[in-house]
Amino acid sequence: MIGKAKSPKAAVLIVVVYIVAALSMLAFALTFRSRIAIRQAQLLIENLQQEEIARAACVQACGVLAADDERVDCLDEPWSVWHELVPAEVTDQSIGTEDSPWQVCWKLVDESAKINLNLASADLLSGLECLDEAAVASILDWIDKDDVPNPDGAEDDYYSSLEPPYSCKDGPIDNIEELLLIKGITPQIYYGANLDEAGNHSAEIDTESTEFAEADPQNSPVGLRDLLTVYGDGRININTVSERVLHAIPLLSDAAVAEIISRQRSASRKFGSMDDIQNNGSFTLTDKLLLMQIAKFNSNHFQLYVKVRKRGNPFWCEYVATIERQGENTQLLSWQRKSRPVIKDITHFTSSSEEGSYSKGLM
């Protein structure tokens, strides 16, 4: 009887416990979803801030280019080194100052240090060690107007058989990334990168780097994107050209390559005119004739690399732009955010993350 008297109370107690537990779980779920929503909004705002900061760095880079002596462009000029801070006067924010939560750096790379893909001969392309004859034949087929494939090349018949199918360009390449559509051009060849097992190009941006200089594009693995360009008049700036590109030039002697690289590293021996080629005792007659056909000493096109991150965050967000310079005038030809937008990686967010911290892979 005593047990029967207590049963209703026990039942009520159990119901109350269930209700309290259910309400607690509901409250926890709502709290967690609210935190996710708040963090999503924060990341969206940070994305917008990063874009604005990177644009401000671009403005500063254009200013440096406009102030540069355009008669000669070489690797020890201000545009060619990393600039870590964007002065506060560039924007109305304290970007890049000690008080700013943001860290910004940028540098420019000379596009005329590369081979113009649309104007290069088959011999010049074949000189690049990362391209075999079949890849060169396919590149030429991609650009030429006809539909007749070169030996080992590829035209519409090949591309229309792919899944999904697409057409051969049969015209000049507008964006260097088009190379990835061409038969035989693998991501490894294009990026020169250490790809992970999933095929992601990890060298796109060195997210593990804590110092921006470690991710210098000139020290990164070299791929076709570092050797070829779609900009310029086809001449190569020998004050900035890399050894890899020089070795691709048919008949250019090793001594000439060594001389050009040596003068790039000398503060007072830059090439400034054709006389510097003609009067150079290290060049053979063939070297001189070759260089007078393809060499120049300055550039009108530059690739801009901008890296932005919040202080304390180990992951950089990278932007790449192409800038054309004509005298004191500069024009932005392209602008691209290279790393994955933060907002798409919200799945990496965990409820245990502290405010302001980032999970690996967020940027």
For Ca ion, give the closer residue by CB, 114 or 183: 183
- Selected from 57, 60, 62, 73, the binder of Ca ion by CB under 5 A is 73
69 near Ca ion, judged by CB under 5 A = yes
Smallest separation (angstroms) from Ca ion to the CB of 76: 10
For Ca ion, give the closer residue by CB, 46 or 141: 141
3-state helix/strand/coil string of 116-183? ECCCCCHHHHHCCCCCCHHHHHHHHHHHCCCCCCCCCCCCHHHHCCCCCCCCCCCCCCCCHHHHHHCC
Q: Of 223, 230, 229, 215, which is closest to residue 244 (Cα–Cα)?
A: 223
Residue type present at position 262:
S
Is residue 336 within 8 Å of residue 316, measured between CB atoms? Answer: no
For Ca ion, give the closer residue by CB, 69 or 197: 69
**Considering CB under 5 A, how many residues would be counted as binding Ca ion?**
7
Is residue 126 within 8 Å of residue 136, measured between CB atoms? Answer: yes
Smallest separation (angstroms) from Ca ion to the CB of 140: 8
Helix (H, G, I), strand (E, B) or coil at 219: coil
170 near Ca ion, judged by CB under 5 A = yes
For Ca ion, give the closer residue by CB, 78 or 314: 78
Map the footprint of Ca ion across residues 314-353, applying CB under 5 A: none
Smallest separation (angstroms) from Ca ion to the CB of 55: 24
Overall residue count recorded for the chain in this entry: 363
Smallest separation (angstroms) from Ca ion to the CB of 239: 9
- Selected from 50, 56, 68, 131, the binder of Ca ion by CB under 5 A is 68
Smallest separation (angstroms) from Ca ion to the CB of 112: 11
Map the footprint of Ca ion across residues 229-288, applying CB under 5 A: none
For Ca ion, give the closer residue by CB, 326 or 357: 326
3-state helix/strand/coil string of 59-102? HHHHHHHHHCCCCCCCCCCHHHCCECCCCHHHCCCCCCCCCCCE
Q: Which stretch binds Ca ion (CB under 5 A): 50-58, 73-81, 193-201, 310-318?
A: 73-81
For Ca ion, give the closer residue by CB, 46 or 68: 68
Map the footprint of Ca ion across residues 106-145, applying CB under 5 A: 141, 144
For the chain, report the end-to-end CA distance as a whole number of angstroms. 68
* Nearest residue (beta carbon) to Ca ion: 73
What are the structure tokens assigned to 332, written together? 């932005």
Smallest separation (angstroms) from Ca ion to the CB of 160: 13
229-240 burial, b at 16+ Cβ within 10 Å, e below that, comes to: bbbbebbbbbbb
Is residue 319 within 8 Å of residue 306, measured between CB atoms? Answer: yes
Q: Of 363, 305, 311, 290, which is closest to residue 335 (Cα–Cα)?
A: 305
Smallest separation (angstroms) from Ca ion to the CB of 178: 13
84 near Ca ion, judged by CB under 5 A = no
Smallest separation (angstroms) from Ca ion to the CB of 129: 25
**Residue ranges binding Ca ion (CB under 5 A):** 68-69, 73, 77, 141, 144, 170
